Amino acid sequence: MNYTQTTAVPKLFIGMDVHKKSWTVHFKTDLFDNKTVTMPSDHFVLINYVEKNFAGHEVGDIRRFNRLDELAAIVGLVPGIYQSSENKINLGLTKRSNHQLRSLLIEASWVAVRTDMALQQYYRQHAHKEPNKSIIKVAHKLLSRIRAVINSGIPYQSGVVK
């Protein structure tokens, strides 16, 4: 009887510390112990990190999404809605999400608001809302930028609005 050897996909555990000048990503898999990577707070590093670590394993190929709303739904940056006949109630962020990627994007958005002038301006436009609600809008905008960089292949440019 033939037995084929299957290779198990290692589980990835990620933690992230965000500071004003840099962020540190701690990760551990079944194959090796804790590793720590400290990165500057530039956003292109986050984009490369997301493309390499999440695009293939967690979300799939980002290019397969025709619209940003489809990708945002997978990441969890869309509202949960309860609807009954004429009543429509917004429940906040949906529970169906990629929790690691969503928290990574939200933490990166706090750094982006401090370092990227265009995202800082976008955050200030929504400053009349609660800070947590405003940062979700910035995270959605940052996800849009990540998707555009991956789809077009053009490097990320900080402070550019298009």
Per-residue pLDDT in tens (0 to 9) along the chain, 162 residues: 443 444 444 444 444 455 544 555 544 444 445 545 444 455 555 656 655 655 444 556 667 778 888 888 888 888 777 788 888 877 777 777 677 778 888 888 888 888 888 888 999 999 888 888 889 889 988 888 888 877 777 777 777 665
Burial of 37 from C-beta contacts in 10 A (0-12 / 13-18 / 19+): exposed
Residue 123 confidence (pLDDT): 92
To the nearest whole percent, how much of the chain has pLDDT over 90? 4
Secondary structure E strands in the chain: 12-18, 22-29, 35-40, 79-84, 87-93
> Residue 123, SS3?
helix
| Domain assignments of the chain as residue spans, ordered by start | 12-152
Kindly give the pairing relationship between strand 35-40 and strand 79-84: unpaired
Q: Residue 128 and residue 131: Cα distance in Å, rounded?
A: 8
**8 A C-beta contact, residue 159 and residue 116:** yes
DSSP 9: P
Residue 116, number of CB atoms within 10 A of its CB: 25
Taking CA atoms, 16 is separated from 1, 23, 28, in Å, by 47, 7, 12
